Every structure is written in C-alpha cells, then in structure tokens.
Structure 1
C-alpha cells in the first residue's frame, strides 16, 4: 500500500511538471526549437499512470483475498477443535451418569445389609462427592465450550465482515476500470478519477488493517479454545 501511495505521489508530481512545461515552455536560445508537452501527451501519461495504479490495487486486492481465505481456514480448524471438546464433554456426562448409578447401587446395598451401614454410608458419601465433583467439572467444561463456541462464531462474523469490505473494495475497483475507459474519451474526468482512486486505495488499506486485527483475534480465540479442549480431555 505504501508503494502504491508513493506511485500515485510520483504520478502527480510528473503531472505537475508536465503542466508546468505546458504553461511555461522553455527556450534556451532563439535559434533552438521550443519543446512542449502537448495536452494529448499529458493525458496519455496520466492514463498510463492511472492504469499502473489500478494494477497495483488489483494486486493488493488479491493479497487481501488470500488473508480472508487463511482466516476462513483457521476458523474451520477452530470449529473442529470445538467439536472435539464437545465430544469430550459428552463422554464426561456419560461418566457422571455412571457415577450416579453407582450411588443408587450403594444406597440399595445399605438397605440390604444394615450391619454394613457405616461402611456403606462412607462409600455412598464418597460416591456422591465424586458425582458432585464430576457435575461441577461437566458444568465448567460446558461453560468453557459455550464461551469458545461464541468466540468462534464472533470470529467467523468478523471474517464475513472483512469479506464484505473486500467485496466492496473490488466493486470500487470495477467502477474505476469503467471510469478509466470513459477517461480515455473525456479528459475532464481525470481529476475526479484520481480522487476516487485515492479513496479506493484508502478503503483497501482500511480493509487490510481490519483483516490483520481480526486474524490476531482469531488466533487468540484458537489458542483459548485449544486450552479448553485440553481441560476437557482431562475429564476422560
């Protein structure tokens, strides 16, 4: 983007010099031929510069599309990790149900053997404590999975927003291409087209900056979700 801005600045400088030459032709001696830049040549130079800037804008758009594709790929990977965490959570829930069944069995043993009441009470309390602990861990894991899933959804929305911005930038470039064709037949539109091109370049820079920020946020969410997945695996 800095290279593009520098190219536009150079083009504008060349245009200014060309205008200066056209309005103030230089003569070294009375015997030498006066050299000027004709309006047609100046217009051709300006059109060539505009084409070069458009080519650079297209290259920047392609780079932005690559970043969007990479963000989408990372979002898919993050969703896969979330699915794995959900599987671990289901397994932990099954184990909690099994532990509850053990509590019921221990209670039945108490009713069948009064002489073992003290030991069975101890076993029942231990089993119930295990169930309570397992339920707390399941609830904590569920909360972590819900939070991680919400973050994934938010990052996917951010990717979609960045894609929409990129599409808008592409539409602007398409309009500039159309205006360039008109410019070749209407020189008075050159100044307006230059301004629109500068605006499109600025919008593209904003879109690129936004993509970089969303990529950093998505990387952080992926790391947090990996931590959540590791915690869920410990419940197995």
Structure 2
C-alpha cells in the first residue's frame, strides 16, 4: 500500500526545510523518488513534483500487482503504458489485478510517461540503474518527426540568428517505449463569418485604413480567404457521384 504525503526534509545545517511530496509504504519512504525530487526542487514547481509522484505511484502499484510476470524491464513498462491508455477493467467489469484503472486520455498518458522518463533517466545517470525507457535507433519516419519537432521548438529562438545551432544527435534516436500521438479533434463545424456583414466589413472596416496601401493589401487578403472558404463549402455540399467507377 502506497500513500502520498507532504514531508518537510532537512538537506543541510541551514535550518531551512524543503517541503516535497513523498511516497510511503510499509518499508518507509521510497528513496529513489525522494532523491530525484530534491535534486529538482530548486527548478521545478510543486505541481511538477505532484505529477512525478503520482506517476511513480501508479508504476509501483502496477509492478507490485504484476510481480514476476515480466523478465524484461522495458516490456513491463510497455505493458504499464498500455494499461494507462486502456485501463485494467474488462467489459464485464472484472479486474483480477485489483487496480481498477479507467482509460486515460492520450495527453494525460503522455504527461505521466514524460515525467517517468525524467525519473528513470536521472536514476540511470546517478544510481547506475537500467533505464525503463532507453533510446534506440530511430527509423527514417521517426527521424523526420523528431526533426519537425526540433525545428518547431527552435524557429522562434530570439538569438538563433547569431549562433550556430547544429542538429542534435538525439534526433536520430527514439524512446523504446513511446506514448501515442495526440490527435486534434474538432467537434462540429467551424463558425463562419456572417455573409450579410461581409460587404460592410470589407468596405467600411478594412477600407477605412488611413494608409490606402494597407487597406488594399488587407482587402485582397480577405477576398482570397473568403473565396477559398466559399469554394470549400461548395465542394463539401457537392453530391457524390456514385456511378463514377
């Protein structure tokens, strides 16, 4: 049985205490997590500490209820991530593991996975343990995805134009256990601009700019956007020819 509590920890002789979340079991405090949280406490927030503590609690509970079933740590972690996504309850409502986890969203699973990646990497570097989510050679598709993510993070770098920014070698690697890619979902149709207000907006709105060049530029852009939008609507409403081979 694991319990999360807030503890005040003394790290030196200064008299100041650090308040951090810890996991307690019948064997005492889970030291690896405590050491990791303390090492990051000067740069991380309390919500981050709570998230990594909760993620670690889930992992330890899963390991406890599946003791001896996995010979490889990465396979255990892969199964753990799958259970986070799908839950542990059968369609009939049964769960022999006793966890009774409900399915979690892709975004939430990825948050928990990211937190645990940081913990296992830190333990591998500082405690000489084996990482549960080691890196492996990325495929060409995964490498392109890594590059796209790296480019998006760095294209708005304020001082990027005055320093060299070589491609990091990590782009050629990928985690052995990864979460799913989140998919943007849009419920319902997009809200369109009212047609009856388009002409007043075009003439009296954009057309009233002091600089006529600016007004003309904005009006031309608006015409392009409005034309593309109406063409898309017409294509969507066009009946499908079922007789076409």
Q: TM-score, normalised by structure 2?
A: 0.19
Higher helix share: 1
- Higher RCO, 1 or 2 (CA under 8 Å, sep at least 6)? 1
Instruction: Give me the TM-score of the superposition, normalised by structure 1.
Output: 0.20
Radius of gyration: which is bigger?
1
More strand by share: 2
